[in-house]
């Protein structure tokens, strides 16, 4: 990285770290949400962006993390930290148990299998008395937005560091090799099953932590919101909008889209949903490589309106 990029990063970090001391309550709450979404997008980036497996099951990890915290705190009266660990344990168990059979599937089949698993998990949880069935669980309230902000920021930094580590480690190269050509990677000696399951697990751990923090912050959860497939699509679109398979893309995507949708919903209520749909469509058609690619082009001086047309022409029939 060049000097100005380091400086920009340092400024961004300083602004983020000091936000609770100068931002309003609304700003801090918005930032907690955006940071947790950034963690989810980053988690998805590991399995979807780097490994090339379009997971629609990451919301399951988020849900398991939420329920881990909720069950531990409400039913067993354990501290929050133990709940987080319990949620992570659930997510790891899920990733290891179901990762092996599901990650054998490729392309559409993997996407739909994970989509089905998300549906199964929501339906199972809404039948478990320990998890409060359909009604959900109410957690003990803790009115400390600074604490939650700190946790969310820390988790976001950790997940970005993990993804950064991927770009320069043997493990990360193995994942990229699987994305580019799985059979080729296997021939070159990458243990593809092990690598894929590890990537799935890693992505699950990050997502479940985000779910756990969110559950304690919001203090309420039910199966429908915890295992919401719409949330899974949100993390995908944030990662893709920023740039899937890049270190900073998902974080930038999460912040940009959260900010725009927040601004829209304050201007015109309920239009935020429609906006999301339109952005998904426009982003996929016009800039499928994301904001990071746009920025790269701008640096190289090759960014013109023709770029959008080129993207369309590359993919149309």
Which positions from 136 to 175 touch other proteins by CB under 8 A, shown as an x/- string?
----------------------------------------
Identify residues 190-229 at the interface with other proteins (CB under 8 A).
Answer: 229
Q: Which of 6, 277, 309, 310 binds other proteins (CB under 8 A)?
A: 277
Does residue 189 interact with other proteins by CB under 8 A?
no
Does residue 77 interact with other proteins by CB under 8 A?
no
Q: Which of 7, 97, 268, 278 binds other proteins (CB under 8 A)?
A: 278
CB of 259 to other proteins, least distance (A): 19
Region from 14-22, 166-174, 184-192, 235-243 binding other proteins, contact rule CB under 8 A: 235-243
Token digits of residue 123: 């339906």
Q: How many residues sit in the footprint of other proteins (CB under 8 A)?
A: 45
Dist CA 133 CA 226 (whole Å): 12
Token digits of residue 19: 């936000």
CB of 178 to other proteins, least distance (A): 15
Q: Tokens 């944030």 label which residue?
A: 238
Q: Which of 23, 150, 154, 288 binds other proteins (CB under 8 A)?
A: 288
Dist CA 123 CA 67 (whole Å): 14
Does residue 269 interact with other proteins by CB under 8 A?
no
Does residue 81 interact with other proteins by CB under 8 A?
no
CB of 146 to other proteins, least distance (A): 34
In Å, how far are 153, 243, 297 from 301, measured between CA atoms?
A: 34, 19, 6
In the DSSP assignment, the letter for residue 268 is S
Does residue 308 interact with other proteins by CB under 8 A?
no
Does residue 108 interact with other proteins by CB under 8 A?
yes
CB of 73 to other proteins, least distance (A): 25
Which residues, in sequence order, are CB contacts of 293 under 8 Å at separation 6+?
Answer: 243, 287
Q: Which of 82, 105, 157, 186 binds other proteins (CB under 8 A)?
A: 105
Q: Containing H/E element for 285?
A: helix 271-286
Q: Tokens 């320069």 label which residue?
A: 168
Q: How far is CA 293 from the centre of its chain?
A: 20
What 3-state class would DSSP assign to 131?
helix
Does residue 101 interact with other proteins by CB under 8 A?
yes
Nearer to other proteins, 9 or 124 (CB): 124
Q: Which of 78, 115, 294, 303 binds other proteins (CB under 8 A)?
A: 115
- Nearest CA to 98 out of 44, 50, 60, 52 is that of 60
Give me the DSSP letters along 219-263: -EE-HHHHT-HHHHHHHHHHHHHH-TTSSSHHHHHHHHHHHHHHH
Backbone angles phi, psi at 138, to 5 degrees: -110, 120
- Nearest CA to 208 out of 78, 88, 300 is that of 88
- Which residues would be at the binding site for other proteins (CB under 8 A)? 48, 54, 101-102, 104-105, 107-109, 111-113, 115-117, 119-120, 122-124, 126-127, 134, 229, 233, 236-237, 240, 273-274, 276-281, 283-285, 288, 312, 314-317
């Amino acid at each position: 990285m060049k000097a100005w990029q380091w400086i920009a990063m340092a400024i961004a970090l300083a602004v983020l770290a000091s936000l609770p001391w100068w931002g309003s309550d609304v700003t801090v709450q918005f930032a907690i949400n955006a940071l947790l979404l950034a963690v989810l997008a980053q988690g998805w980036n590991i399995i979807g962006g780097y490994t090339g497996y379009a997971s629609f099951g990451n919301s399951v990890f988020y849900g398991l993390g939420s329920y881990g915290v909720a069950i531990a705190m409400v039913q067993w009266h354990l501290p929050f930290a133990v709940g987080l660990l319990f949620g992570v344990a659930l997510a790891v168990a899920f990733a290891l148990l179901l990762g092996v059979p599901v990650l054998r599937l490729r392309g559409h089949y993997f996407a739909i299998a994970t989509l089905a698993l998300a549906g199964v998990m929501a339906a199972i949880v809404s039948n478990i008395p320990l998890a409060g069935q359909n009604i959900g669980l109410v957690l003990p309230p803790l009115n400390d937005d600074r604490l939650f902000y700190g946790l969310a920021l820390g988790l976001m930094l950790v997940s970005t560091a993990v993804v950064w580590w991927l770009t320069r480690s043997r493990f990360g190269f193995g994942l990229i090799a699987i994305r580019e050509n799985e059979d080729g990677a296997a021939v070159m000696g990458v243990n593809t099953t092990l690598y894929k399951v590890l990537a799935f697990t890693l992505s699950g751990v990050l997502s479940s932590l985000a779910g756990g923090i969110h559950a304690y912050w919001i203090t309420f959860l039910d199966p429908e919101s915890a295992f919401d497939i719409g949330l899974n699509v949100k993390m995908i679109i944030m990662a893709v909008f920023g740039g899937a398979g890049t270190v900073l893309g998902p974080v930038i995507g999460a912040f940009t889209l959260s900010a725009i949708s927040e601004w829209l919903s304050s201007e015109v209520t309920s239009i935020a949903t429609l906006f999301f749909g339109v952005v998904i469509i426009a982003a996929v058609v016009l800039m499928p490589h994301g904001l990071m690619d746009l920025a790269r082009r701008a640096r190289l001086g090759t960014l013109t309106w023709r770029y959008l047309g080129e993207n369309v022409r590359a993919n149309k029939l």
